[in-house]
Each structure stands twice: as C-alpha cells, then as structure tokens.
Amino acid sequence: MNDRQIIELYWNRDEQAISMTAEKYGTYCYSVAYKILHNEEDSKESVNDTYLSAWNSIPPHKPNILKTFLGKIARRISIDRWRKKNAEKRNAEITEVLEELSECVSPRGNPMTEIEKKQLDETVNNFIAELKDVEQRVFICRYWYAESVKEIAKQFCFSESKVKVMLMRTRNKLKERLEKEDLL
C-alpha cells in the first residue's frame, strides 16, 4: 500500500491505517526512537505513541511525505520521553547533541513567536539543503538521528576527528547564517 492510500485511510478514520503504518514504517520509527532512547521497551512505547499521534493529527494535517511526518513525530515523542526519564541523570550523548546544536540555534533569550519559529525552521531547512551531500548526511546523522561521532565515523569511513571538525564547521556556518538573517 502506498503512502497516499495510507493517508486516505487516516482521513476516512479507518483503523487499518495504523496496521498499514506499522507494517510499512514500524521499523523506521523504532530505529528513530531507539537511537534516542537506547531502550527497547521505551522505544516500542514511543512507536505506539507515534501511531496515536499520527491518528490524532491526520486529519487535519495531510503530510506530503508520510515517512518524514512519522519520523518527526517519533523523534519528538522519544526526546520528550528521554527528557522525562532522565531529568536527573542525563544521558551524555543526547545531552551533548542537544547542547552542540543549541549553541547555534538557541533563541534570543525571550520566547519566540510562531513567525520567528517558522522563519528559523525555513532557514535551517534551506541551510541543510544547500550543504554538500556528505556534510548534509553527517549533519543529519548527528542532529536528527542523534548518532554518536564514533558511529558516524564508522558509517562514512572517516576518522572521529574529521567528523568532529566537519560538524563544528557546519555548526559555525549555520550560526553565521542565522546571525546574518537576524534569527540569533
């Protein structure tokens, strides 16, 4: 069943939408959740919560790319679950990933308006789209999938120091871009 048909099931409030989603994207959602949570049970719960959130979101949303829509939901739910579970004992890897990125994307100290959030999202998405292929893939592995520097180095056959330098340079470019567009 293709994505358009699955989305149509959601719009028709057909419960088969959940089973079709699980069949087609269950492994992907689990992978996103597990990279953040590193716990089988919590990851499975996040995946189930992802299905529920998709059920509650479609309609009114009609995602263009179902896989990306589900991945975004699974990631958000997993990060929320991780934060709740680790409020006192922070997981070093996730904390490091979030801190690295917050250095160049943190708001100006006051709550951002919806318009500013949309501008920030658009600018970051455009920035990522303009990166060279390898830089883009390394950046996404680190900051979307929360992969460790060691995992990324192994995946791309780079040294860990090369990955660290590449990520630092990319974050610096992003920071410059955000400052140029007055979003930082």
**Considering the entire predicted model, what is its pTM?**
0.65
Q: May I ask the CATH class of domain 92-180? A: mainly alpha
Question: Is domain 3-85 in CATH 3.40.50.720, yes or no?
Answer: no
Q: Tens of pLDDT along the chain (184 residues)? A: 999 999 999 999 999 999 999 999 999 999 999 988 889 999 999 999 999 999 999 988 899 999 999 999 999 999 889 888 876 555 566 666 767 777 676 555 455 566 777 787 888 888 989 999 999 999 988 888 888 899 999 999 999 999 999 999 999 999 898 888 887 7
Convert 140-160 to b/e letters by CB count within 10 Å (16 or more is b).
ebbbebbbbbebbbeeeebee
74 class by beta-carbon count within 10 Å (0-12 exposed, 13-18 middle, 19+ buried): buried
Query: Domain limits of the chain?
Result: 3-85, 92-180
pLDDT for the residue 24:
96
What CA–CA distance (Å, rounded) separates 134 from 137?
Answer: 5
Q: Tell me the torsion sign for CA atoms 172, 173, 179, 183.
A: negative
What CA–CA distance (Å, rounded) separates 68 from 164?
Answer: 26
